[in-house]
Amino acid sequence: MINFDYKNDTKIIFGKTTEGRVGEECIKYSDKVLLHYGGGSIKKSGLYNRIITSLKEQNITVIELSGVKPNPRLSLVQQGIKLCKEHGIGFILAVGGGSVIDSAKAIALGALYSGDVWDFYLNINSPIESLPVGVVLTIPAAGSETSGGSVITKEDEQLKKVVAVDFLRPKFAILNPELTLTLPDYQTSCGAADMLAHVFERYFTKVKNVDLTDRLCEATMKTIIYQAKKLVNNPKDYEARAELMWAGTVAHNDLFGTGRIADWASHGLEHELSAITDIAHGAGLAIIFPAWMKYVYKENLDRFVQFASRVFNIDINFENLEETALKGIEEVENFYKYLNLPVRLSEINLDESLIDVMAKKYITDSNKGNFKSLNREDCVNIYKLAF
Ligand code: NZQ
Ligand code: ZN
């Protein structure tokens, strides 16, 4: 195990009807709130009205900015920053999924910055402060409700970039699993694929003696797989939704990364894919991850054997460990198929010539990934394996 610092101070409020407490949480920070949300699901479900009622009960002035698209766009972030500066907003409330939360975090950064917020995403400047952000989560997936990350797309250049700083972690996250009952099946599946990927990124490490975090990861992976399959057959299962919602948060609150070196190359490869195609992040990961696994498993065969054995209960063939490892990877792919997600780039009709473009955009200078250090040619090979 390697040395680490760990701090995650997002307050979690979990359970039925908890969105009714949003006003009392927001007023701790400001009486002027930017309410940020997506394309309309919260109005259709009635959640919007309940949020407004709770905010009004605390006499909070609400300025609204809706229209966040999946793979959230920089242009809307710029509008939000302008609104915050004009109205002297003191708090940003994100009601939605990872896209809304990430957009809210970008606005929170830009509201206190005199330059262009995109500077932070291009590493031209480092953020030092932001407005506080709070969350009412409607889809368990990205884990942005407790992460310090924000992923934004600059649409005119098809660039999808990440900022990650500790102070961007939301002040609170309200997690009511009932709010996820309106999710389309496809979005539920994409969410499960994303949270599983967040565990994979941390689990596949070369750091030795990380048994506690290994076991925490394995328990979470098993839970995600089991509960997500249950939801394919019964999307109204509240208990399965509750398990998945909590799993999505713990998968990405950084506890599982303590004492080890995470990889993150598959996320980078997927971000290039969603920047170009606008595919849902979770679906993109269902395509990329099996290919990455097939490409890198020999780097640490024992780890892939452990994964196959402990997560999928595959009997270890001590005469042929590679066979065991490959069976585990096959089970990952089978899981995505069960969730009706694509597992090949050909299924989404990607133009094969874009492989080189994505690899070039991803590997601009140094190699990426830690489990296996990937150069541009490796990335091309992984995309080809995913075809
Ligand atoms: O916009 P509305 O109408 O709300 O519809 C949304 C959207 O179309 C819909 N939806 C959400 N909750 C719903 C619902 N529909 C019905 N009922 C509900 N309860 O679902 C669609 C997808 O929403 P989105 O927010 O895009 O999903 P997700 O949470 O998967 O977020 C994806 C984004 O997060 C980034 C991804 O790259 C992607 O841009 N990520 C952010 C991370 C972070 N900040 O830490 C880490 C992740 O690895 C990821 O990269
Ligand atoms: Zn992700």
Tens digits of residue pLDDT in 308-326 = 999 999 999 999 999 999 9
Assess whether 236 and 364 both reside in one domain.
yes
Last residue of a domain, one of 146, 179, 212: 179
pLDDT at position 157 = 95
- Say which residue the tokens 């690899």 belong to: 359
**In the beta sheet, which residues pair with residue 71?**
none
Residue 266 CB less than 6 A away from ligand 1: no
- Residue 62 belongs to domain spanning: 11-179
Of 376, 188, 213, 208, residue with least CA distance to 283 = 188
Supply the CATH number for residue 31's domain: 3.40.50.1970
CA of 282 to the centre of ligand 1 (A): 9
Is 133 found in the same domain as 16? yes
The pTM assigned to this predicted structure is 0.98
Question: How many whole angstroms separate alpha carbon 82 and alpha carbon 85?
Answer: 5
CA–CA dist 174, 191 (Å, integer): 17
Q: Are residues 108 and 18 in the same domain?
A: yes
Q: How confident is the model at residue 343 (pLDDT cuts 50, 70, 90)?
A: very high
Could you tell me if residue 4 is inside a domain?
no
> Where is the domain boundary, 179, 194, 211?
179
Helix H or strand E encompassing 95: strand 91-96
Is residue 25 located within the same domain as residue 109? yes
Cβ of residue 34 lying under 6 Å from some atom of ligand 1: no
Cα of 239 vs centre of ligand 2, distance in Å, is 23
Q: How far apart are CA 360 and CA 338, in angstroms?
A: 33
CA nearest ligand 1 atom 20, residue: 187
- What's 242's domain CATH number? 1.20.1090.10
DSSP alpha helices (H): ranges in the chain?
A: 22-26, 41-45, 47-57, 74-87, 98-110, 118-121, 185-203, 211-233, 238-250, 265-277, 281-296, 301-312, 321-338, 354-362, 376-385
Ligand nearest to the CA of 151: 1
Q: How far is the CA of 116 from the centre of ligand 1 (A)?
A: 24
CA of 2 to the centre of ligand 1 (A): 33
Residue 70 alpha carbon to ligand 1 centre in Å: 6
CB-ligand 1 contact for 102 (6 Å cutoff)? yes
Q: Assess whether 370 and 223 both reside in one domain.
A: yes
Ligand 1 site, residue 328, Cβ cutoff 6 A: no
Quote the pLDDT of residue 134: 98
pLDDT band at 275, cuts 50/70/90?
very high
| Residue 221 contacts residue 199 (beta carbons within 8 Å) | yes
Domain finish residue from 122, 150, 179: 179
Tell me if 105 CB under 6 Å of ligand 1: no
Average pLDDT over residues 286-300: 98
DSSP annotation string for 117-159: THHHHTTSS-------EEEEESSSSS-TTT-SEEEEEEGGGTE
Confidence of residue 233 (pLDDT cuts 50, 70, 90): very high
What amino acid occupies position 64? E
**Ligand 1 atom at minimum distance from 271 CA:** 37
**Confidence category of residue 51, pLDDT binned at 50, 70, 90:** very high
* Residue at token pair 């020999």: 298
**302 in helix, strand or coil?**
helix
Number of domain units in the chain: 2
The dihedrals phi and psi of 368, each to the nearest 5 degrees, come to -125, 155
